Structure 1
Amino acid sequence: MNYFVYILINNIVPICIMIAIGVTMYRAFQIDIRTLSKLNFYVFSPALVFVKLYESEMSLSILMQVLLFFVIFFSLLFAIIEVIIRIQKLQRGMRIAMRNSVIFYNSANYALPLNQTVFGGNAYTLAIQIVIMIMQTLIPNTYGIYTLNAHKATWKATMKTILSLPVIYAIPIALLLRYYHVPVPSSIDIPLNYIANAFMATALLTLGVQLGAMKWTFQFSNVLLSNMLRLAIGPLLGFLVVWMLGIEGLTAKALILSCAVPTSLSSVLLAIEYENEAEFSSQAVFTSTLFSMFTIPIVIYLLDFI
């Protein structure tokens, strides 16, 4: 019950307030959603990745174990959703949006505070979650963009789009600077932190603006399918993979918890930026975030049996 109340007050309610502000701003001023999307893609997201990666502390063994888990988990989840969307005979645009709503999950502004709440600020579990966050930032900005552009642009043009994204360069630069203990000058570090701290607010406001522009004709069957795959199948698959790999203790718990979070805002930002099922994507994020207040406490309870 304590987990339920904490998650409701400290995760769900603040997120809903930010989304509501975005809806209100759109209704009042007709804010340009594509401008907000570009700010998230080209400014706030790369700054967040750089800061979190540069400040993190993790050993090579932890990194390799987490990466192995992620590769297996992601591959199995991808295979499951691929089978389901083929059975459902969804159109190409909806297939991509459905897939993105399941394989891209909120590993940053939802999972990071959740991890620290559940594990009492443990630095080890935080390092694990940061690795997952990095992978969940990199994939939408590479594979996600490729799938949305493959049918309407050449491979060369698609790669040019991907390589134009700052987050692609933020990751190796942060890793190199951290590995060689190169300090970031305060004149750069201060604005970077300002921008990184603004990521969550701007991303949630962007979601609110998109929801404000929606017709609110819910695609119930598709949205509910997405929510079930993300919130139920995701953590169950996480349990299976840690069992397969023989991972135990805090590592197993942190990895499973990382699989249980709702759909990422990245799916909405991609849908808006590349004009592909933006309404469905927004609905999937909004509803999965709300439903997670019921599913996350169940996952946390089950972690005690590992």
Structure 2
Amino acid sequence: MVYFTHILLSNVIPISILIALGALLQRAFHLDIKTLSKLNFYLFSPAIMFKMLYESAISLAILGQVLMYFAVFMILQYGLVELVIRVKRYTKGMKSAMRNSVLFYNSANYAIPLNQLVFAGDPFTQSIQIIIMMMQSLLPNTYGVYSVNAHKNELKATLRTIASMPVIYVIPTAFLMRGLHVPIPQPVYTPINYVAGAFIATALVTLGVQLGSMKWQLNLTDVFLSNFLRLAAGPALGFLVVLLFGFTGPMAQALVLSCSVPTSLSSVLLAVEFDNEPEFASQAVFASTVFSIFTVSFVIYLLQFIA
């Protein structure tokens, strides 16, 4: 009950307030959602990723283990989603939207505070979550961009679009500067902090603007199927991979918790930026965030059985 209340008060209600503000602003002023999505992709998201990686203390040993886990987990999750897609016989656009709604999950503004709560701010488990966050930021800007463009653009055009994503350059730059102990002048680091701090609010308001402009022709079957694959099948597969590699203790618990969170806002930003099923993407994010109150609380309860 403690975790249920905390998730509700610390994650779902604040997220819902910002989404509601975005919807109200859209109704009142008819905001340009394309401009908002570009701000998220090209400014706010790269800034927060650089800041978190530059300030983190991640060992190479932990990095290797977590990346190995993440690779196997994503392969299994992708295989499960692909099976569902083939059975459902979705259109090309809907195929990529469904994949993105399951494969991309909220590993930053939802999972990091959740990790700090469950593990009492343990630096070790937090470093694990930061690595997952890094990969969950890289994938939407590479595979995610490819998936929503492959069925309508030539490969060269899609690759040019991927190459224009700042995050793919920010990640190695942050690691290199941290590894070489390169200091950032305060006049430069101050605006980075300002921009990074604006990411969560801007991304959530963007989701609210998209929800506020929708006709709300809700496809319950597809949205609930996406939520089930993300919130139920996701942590189940995570637990399976933990057993496969023989991870135990806080590492195993942090890894399972990391893949139990709701669908990422990046799936909405991709859908809006590249006009690929934005209504489904927005509904999947909103519904999974609400349902995660119950599913994540249950996963936290089960963590005690991972020795």
The TM-score normalised by the length of structure 1 is: 0.99
State the distance in 1 between where 2:145 and 2:15 align.
26
Say whether the 8 Å CA contact 2:97–2:148 is kept in structure 1.
no
Say whether the 8 Å CA contact 2:92–2:151 is kept in structure 1.
no
Residue by residue over 1:18-62, the C-alpha shift from the partner in whole angstroms, topping out at 9 and shown as x without a partner, is: 000000000000011101000000000000110011011111110
Unmatched segments (≥5 aa) in structure 1: none
State the distance in 1 between where 2:74 and 2:214 align.
30
**Map of 1:188 onto structure 2:** 188
State the distance in 1 between where 2:186 and 2:161 align.
31
State the distance in 1 between where 2:38 and 2:140 align.
15
**Map of 2:30 onto structure 1:** 30
Runs of 4+ in structure 1 over 3 Å off: none
Deviation at 1:159, TM superposition (A): 1.3
Deviation at 1:151, TM superposition (A): 2.5
Equivalent residues in 2 for 1:183-222, closer than 5 Å: 183-222=183-222
1:297 maps to 2:297: yes
SS of 1:171's equivalent in the other structure is helix
**Which AA in structure 2 matches 1:305?**
F
State the distance in 2 between where 1:17 and 1:153 align.
37
SS of 2:305's equivalent in the other structure is coil
**Map of 2:15 onto structure 1:** 15
Unmatched segments (≥5 aa) in structure 2: none
**Map of 1:260 onto structure 2:** 260
**Map of 1:113 onto structure 2:** 113
Deviation at 1:169, TM superposition (A): 0.9
**Map of 1:68 onto structure 2:** 68
SS of 2:270's equivalent in the other structure is helix
Deviation at 1:187, TM superposition (A): 1.1
1:4 maps to 2:4: yes
State the distance in 1 between where 2:156 and 2:226 align.
32
State the distance in 2 between where 1:282 and 1:152 align.
21
**Map of 1:177 onto structure 2:** 177
1:132 maps to 2:132: yes
**Which AA in structure 1 matches 2:68?**
L
Aligned residues with identical type, % of pairs: 61
Say whether the 8 Å CA contact 2:101–2:263 is kept in structure 1.
yes
State the distance in 1 between where 2:288 and 2:149 align.
26
The alignment covers a number of residue pairs equal to 306
**Which AA in structure 2 matches 1:22?**
G
State the distance in 2 between where 1:95 and 1:176 align.
36
The TM-score normalised by the length of structure 2 is: 0.99
Deviation at 1:168, TM superposition (A): 1.2
Q: Give RMSD over aligned pairs.
A: 0.6
